[in-house]
Amino acid sequence: MRVLPCPGCGVKIKIPDGRTGRCNCPKCQMALMIPEVGGQTPPTQTPQGGTLSTPPQSDPLQLPQTQADLLPPLAPQPQAAPRSLKTGGPLGMAGKAKKRAGSASSSELKQFLKRLGVGLGILSVVLFLLGGLGLIAEPIALTACFVGLGAAIGMIVGGKVWLLVIAFKESPAQGLLVFLVPYYWLFFLFTRKGRALHALALIVAALVPALICGAMLTVFLPRYQSGGSFSSSRRSGLSRSQLATVEERIRASRESSPDADVLRNVSFPTFSQIGRLDDAKAEQVLAELPGYVPGSFLYDARGRKLSFQYRGAKEIARQYGLVLASQAKVIMSFTPTFHDQPLQLTEAKSDAGAAATETSQPPATPPVTPGAGADPPVERTVSFQTLGQSPVNQAAADQALSQVNGYVAGSFRFDQQNQLVTLRFRGSDAAATQLGFALQRKLQMTVRLKPIFAAEE
């Protein structure tokens, strides 16, 4: 038994001894020529008692009769296509396989982009709806901004995690490089194809909710921040003509009501203010209204209420509140409460807390006590406890306090060791409290607004 290698596919074909002629490769069907053994036909033997005879010449392409019976007759075979020595398949199949793989990857990317586009469309519609409702209510505006920002961050994080998984599947070294080396993930993105393009599309798509969120913040911030261009329209609700109507109602009530000269102490509940309430602005707004007692406005931030005094009927208290909310940007309730005595600031639990609370919202001037006339012109000595105050320039402090009514010029003294401010004034106890506020506003001193009066001789 002989072995004949196929030059086309390399398969080794077993050939019986004595087989000559042609045959086909059982794998690639390539036609092969079977060589003779030694290149000569074997000699024939002479029979006994006879002469040497020459065997009849046969066709070289014909198999001997004894061997031809072993194989089926050869049929003409078509010419086989040349095959690749690397893969064993026909030439050109590797390129076709690459084309098929590339077309499949492109088809998957298109399907992913379609689904991503649908998701972005739904997200955009939701954000625009929340943004429209956010123009009405501030909590909805905050929700819209948080949803947009959260969607953008989630898409970026999701894309990077997806890219990290792809890198680790390729090789642990690539995964570690993407995870540890800054900006290597960008190089990995642009040098790979397939699923890496899906992760890149997800990261780029995060720009859509981010841009929508930025546009909403551009609209919402000036609308809901204190002092913004839209803040007055949200909280005031009164035009110039409406304000004029309110003032006319107050004047008409004072002219016709028998209680036009009755002094009222009224307070209104307030809510959390956006920014700091400007008590000087509130005092200025109320001072322009008829019947208001100048210097009586008081805002208690800890107690969440404001109070002031006016002369007139109880029915016009809401009119003062409307003007105050409109012009001074106060977020308040319009349910007035009347008191027999002027309100005082709510005491804090500790000295530091009291100083911090009373410093945050000082009134412009002290309230007026009902039935009392002008402050008695009696000089009194008052002291205020300070908290960690550094040395103060006495001349500058005296000059600043000289603008406060009732202050006796040149009487300012500061004892740094005992943290005590002492000065003299002319007026009532309420005027002393006003001096404490002046120390806070004009000299930026941290004092407890609880005056200590010295015993008069």
Average pLDDT over residues 242-259: 85
Residue 335 or 48, more confident: 335
Helix, strand, coil shares of the chain, percent, nearest 5, are: 45, 15, 40
Structure tokens of 252? 């008409």
CATH number for the region 374-453 comes to 3.30.70.100
pLDDT of residue 434: 77
Answer whether 0.85 is exceeded by the pTM.
no
pLDDT of residue 406: 79
pLDDT of residue 154: 92
pLDDT at 361 over 70: no
pLDDT of residue 156: 92
Residue pair 336/320 in contact by the 8 Å Cβ criterion = no
Q: What is d(CA 15, CA 34) in angstroms, rounded to the nearest whole number?
A: 8
pLDDT at 31 over 50: yes
CA torsion, ordered 130, 131, 136, 137, to nearest 10 deg? 60
Residue 98: which pLDDT band, with cuts at 50, 70 and 90? low
pLDDT of residue 233: 39
Average pLDDT over residues 382-407: 81
pLDDT at 80 over 70: no
Residue pair 64/18 in contact by the 8 Å Cβ criterion = yes
Planar angle of CA 98, 102, 108, nearest 5 degrees: 145
Of 396, 447, 402, nearest to 424 (Cα)? 402
Q: What confidence tens digit (pLDDT) does each residue in 256-306 have? A: 888 888 888 999 988 766 556 777 888 888 888 888 888 888 888 878 888
pLDDT of residue 210: 92
pLDDT of residue 238: 64
pLDDT of residue 99: 59
Least confident range from 22-26, 67-71, 115-119, 316-320: namely 67-71
Residue 44: which pLDDT band, with cuts at 50, 70 and 90? very low
Q: What confidence tens digit (pLDDT) does each residue in 129-147 have? A: 988 888 887 788 888 889 9
Residue pair 305/324 in contact by the 8 Å Cβ criterion = no
pLDDT of residue 100: 60
pLDDT of residue 48: 47
Q: What confidence tens digit (pLDDT) does each residue in 330-348 have? A: 788 888 899 877 766 554 4
pLDDT of residue 431: 75
Q: Parse the chain into domains and list their residue ranges.
A: 1-37, 106-224, 233-339, 374-453
pLDDT of residue 208: 92
Of 243, 224, 246, nearest to 235 (Cα)? 224
Burial class from Cβ neighbours inside 10 Å (0-12, 13-18, 19+) for residue 337 reads middle
Percent of the chain residues topping a pLDDT of 70: 71
pLDDT at 363 over 50: no
Mapped onto helix, strand or coil, the DSSP state of residue 225 is coil
Strand positions, DSSP E, 208-253: none
Average pLDDT over residues 53-58: 48
Average pLDDT over residues 54-68: 48
Residue pair 216/134 in contact by the 8 Å Cβ criterion = yes
pLDDT of residue 230: 42
Q: What confidence tens digit (pLDDT) does each residue in 151-163 have? A: 999 999 998 898 8
Residue 226 or 22, more confident: 22
pLDDT of residue 103: 66
Tally of CA atoms within 13 A in the half-sphere of 357 that contains its CB? 18
pLDDT of residue 196: 81
pLDDT at 85 over 80: no
Q: What confidence tens digit (pLDDT) does each residue in 193-202 have? A: 777 888 888 8
